[in-house]
Every structure is written in structure tokens, then in C-alpha cells.
Amino acid sequence: MSELKDRIRRMTLREQVGQLFTFYNTGLVFSDFAKRMIADYKAGGMFLDMGSLDRPAQVHRLTSAMQQASMTEGSGIPLFISADFVAGAGCKLKSGGAVHFPKNKAVGAAGDEALAYESGRVTAEESLAMGVNFNYSPVVDINNNPLNPVIGTHSFGEDRDQVAAMGCAVIRGYQEHGMIATAKHFPGHGDTQVDSHFDLPVLPFDRTRLDSFELVPFRKSIEAGVDAVMVGHIAVPALDASGLPASLSYKMTTGLLREELGFGGLIVTDGLSMKGVTSKFTQAEACVLALQAGADILLAHARNVEEAGPMVEAVLTAVRRGELSEERIKQSVERILNMKAKYGLLPETFRLRDYDGEKLNKPESESVSIRLARKAALAVNGFKPLKRTEATERWTLVWDKQVERFAELVRLTGTLKGERRLEAYADVKPLLGEGTLAGPVIVALTHNKRMDADVLQALNQYAAEHPGDVVLVHFGSSYDLEHVPAVPALLLYDSAPSLQQSAAEALFGS
């Protein structure tokens, strides 16, 4: 500890402030912007958004270049390199190459804590093989509001204890295998009807409700030793009557999370470019407010150097003016360097890893994903598996282009007499109205949010008019099923490759 304090004392204020910033990286290669953030602003971390992620070897080249630059031209301290690998290291890779697990809702439906832990282990091992050491996952929000526009299938479910148990299992899987986990979005984004990317959600509940529901998975995550918590852009009048989002609220970030709940790890803001913040503040203003509230890491989204500079300068100016104390900055830097020490991210312990593709997409890792997917598949509305011997070249498959793997597997069974490929799930409504479908139909739809009720109601009406001739394979929200009570269905929650495989198996009872 004394060595870390000595290191901090030797750092300039600008170097200390740099450790608090994690900047978005948006391209596949080590850009001039990233070089400037690391070399000029001494950034402590870089976040890889989807535009940074194509295939494992490419990600490894990018992260290696970033770490090399930080060690030789930047702060001299290795970076936190983070990503939103909420469903495995393969979930955001455009060209694949790592395991893409089912989303949390399917993991929760599977109900197997040991497999949830294993999904965390695999994700950690594959992420580290690509150079990603900090995961902004898991989501421990309780999604008990069917109208929630953003959390949905990212949540483990509607039951607080199930969400807590699955979240803690994944956290242990990540951290016991070398990757920092992040419980998010404190103090809970599940029971909202506003997406904080576009506006400021409000949790209108009293403290008794919050203590007994929203805060439970966060308490359990802290007890399980989670090393980071992401504070959301969510107003909670019962906790702070000012109307500030939790990410900018001292009462919620320090008073509740740090002091009352006893969290000693890293507090990370959600992305500061989100409208839940920028509808009232500039990112530069938000950086200062977040640090005053008690955040350690500022997740800053600058499109260029000209946007990044004012954010850093705003923090430096706030210190010079006495709006932020140097001691407050040092507190966060100490927490950051302690965490880097824990995960081997100090100069004396860090070594770049050579790329080893053998560590990715291993059969035993894929097996964890398919076992979760098989446990998650749920028959509803009286669904019964099709009998291949009675279904030869009898069915027409109507399928969303995003479930091509499922279509390929069904095609191999020899049960299809025809197919109709949809560009999007909503295209099924006009197709049903054409009157061109003849005979029994398998309809496979997917969407990452709730589907439009009128589309599903049209399908339900078609099924009612053609009893026994429609089966729905639903790679989407369980809430959608309230609109299709007449349709025998398989529920899969999302379109991860393993869920597509388990759907094809369950469709025929294999």
C-alpha cells in the first residue's frame, strides 16, 4: 500500500486525473484519437465499443497496441481495457470467433448457477485472450416491467433472488478467472419505462420498496466481492430529491453505495454521452459532478480530441478552483491502482500476451453455451414437438433473417416443403395477409426488444383461423407471448447461436 501511495505522490495532477478517464474507442485499428488519449491525456482506460470488435485476432492487435502505447508513451501504467461482453466474448464480435452465450434472461430461465458460473469463466478466459480485462457485466437489474424499453432480456428475470443468485455466479466466474466484473445499473433500471440512452428514467418508489427489491441484487453482488459497480443515469426521488441521476448524485453514489452498502471497489459511471445526463449537462460538466458524487471512473464518449480535451480540462479546473479537492482525486486513483495491482496491471507485473487462438471457441466452451440453451428452451401454449415421420416435406418455414442457423438446421430434417425469409419480424404481418401460405407453418421470429402487439395479434388471428397449422419459435421477449395465446410456441428469449440450435432440437423433441 505504501508503494502505491508513493507512486501516486510522484504523479502529476494531470497524470492522476488521466487515470480516472476511460474513453470510448470506436474503430478496428489503433487510431490517432486513441493514441492521443493515451499519450497526451494519460488515460487510465479504453472502452471497446461495437465498432472496435470484429474478430479475436484483430481485437488482440488493437489492445496490445493500446497497452504498449500506455507503457511507453502514456502514463507508464497498463490500461483497463473494457467491453460490454454481457453475453460472452463473442456476443459483440462482428465476424465471430468466440463463444456467444444466451442473454441473461435465458440464463435465468435455465436456472443453473453452476452453468452461469461457467459462462463467466469462459467469458473471462476468452476476453483475456483478446486483451480485454474489464467487463461491464453482469446486468443485475430486475426486469419486472414489461414496458421497459432497454433492459429486457439483458436481465436475469423478474425475481430478485434469482437475479441476485445468477448475477453472483457470473461475477465469481469472471473474477476468479482474472477479469473484473461490474454489477449494473445501480440502483436499478428494471422497473422503468424510459431508456436512459434517450432521457432520464425515474424510479418513483419509496425506500422500503427499494431496499426490499431493486437494491437486493446489488447488496448480494457486493457480498460476493464484485470489484466494480456501474452507476446508472436514473433519478430516484426517495434517495435524492434534487432530481439528479444516480451517476451524479452524492447521496446515491457515496451516501448509499459507498457508505451505507459498504462498497469498497470501483464506481464506474454509465456512458456520459447518454441523454440521461446530456439532456441537462455537458459531458465536461458531468465529469466534474460525477467525481463530486464519488465516481472513480468516468466513461467518456468523445468523438474527437477536440471533444475530449474540455472534459479533462474541466476536472483539472475544478481542482484548481477548489470544487474538487486533490485528496478526492487521490482517493479514486488509489482505488484504481489497487485494482490494477490485484489484476496484474502494474508495470512490474504486466506482460503482453501473445495471441493464442486455441483459447477461443473451444468445444468444451461451446458446450457450456448449448447446455444453457437447452435448459432455457420453454414450451408454451400447448406446444408439442413435431414428429419427423409425419412431417416430411409438409411444413413451410417463415423465418427472420437473423435466425439463419435455425433455418439451416430445420432444413436438414427434410420436413419443409417451402420457405419464406423475412427481412424483419414485422414482415410476417403482410405475409399472413397475402393468403399465399398453404398448409402448416413454422414461424421463427426475433427482436431485441418487445415486438409490436399488432404484428403478434395478426399471427394469433391467423393461428385461430388455421387450428393446428401454426407453430411459433420465438427468439424474443417472454412478454410478447401474451399476444399469441392461440399459438403453440417455443420460447428461446434471444437469437444466440446456441439458442437457435436448441430450438431446432426442441422443435422435433430431440
Active-site annotation, residues: 197, 270
Q: How far apart are CA 360 and CA 187, in angstroms?
A: 34
**Cell numbers given for 357:** 487462438
Amino acid identity of residue 325, one-letter, is S
**Inter-residue contact 284 to 254 (CB < 8 Å):** no
Order across the sheet with 266-269: list the strands: 182-186, 228-231, 266-269
Q: Please list, in sequence order, all residues whose beta carbon lies within 8 angstroms of the beta carbon of residue 151, skipping any fewer than 6 positions away.
A: 139, 141, 143, 189, 190, 192
Bridge pairing between strands 489-491 and 378-380 = antiparallel
Q: How far apart are CA 422 and CA 415, in angstroms?
A: 20
Which CA distances in Å does 275 have to 126, 193, 195, 243? 33, 15, 9, 15
Q: Any idea how long the chain is?
A: 510
Q: How far apart are CA 149 and CA 433, in angstroms?
A: 28
Q: Please list, in sequence order, all residues whose beta carbon lies within 8 angstroms of the beta carbon of residue 226, skipping any fewer than 6 positions away.
A: 171, 175, 181, 182, 183, 265
Closest CA to 93 of 62, 59, 44: 59
3-state SS assignment for residue 212 = helix
To which H or E segment does residue 88 belong? none
**Cell numbers given for 190:** 428494471
**Inter-residue contact 234 to 196 (CB < 8 Å):** yes
**Cell numbers given for 238:** 426517495
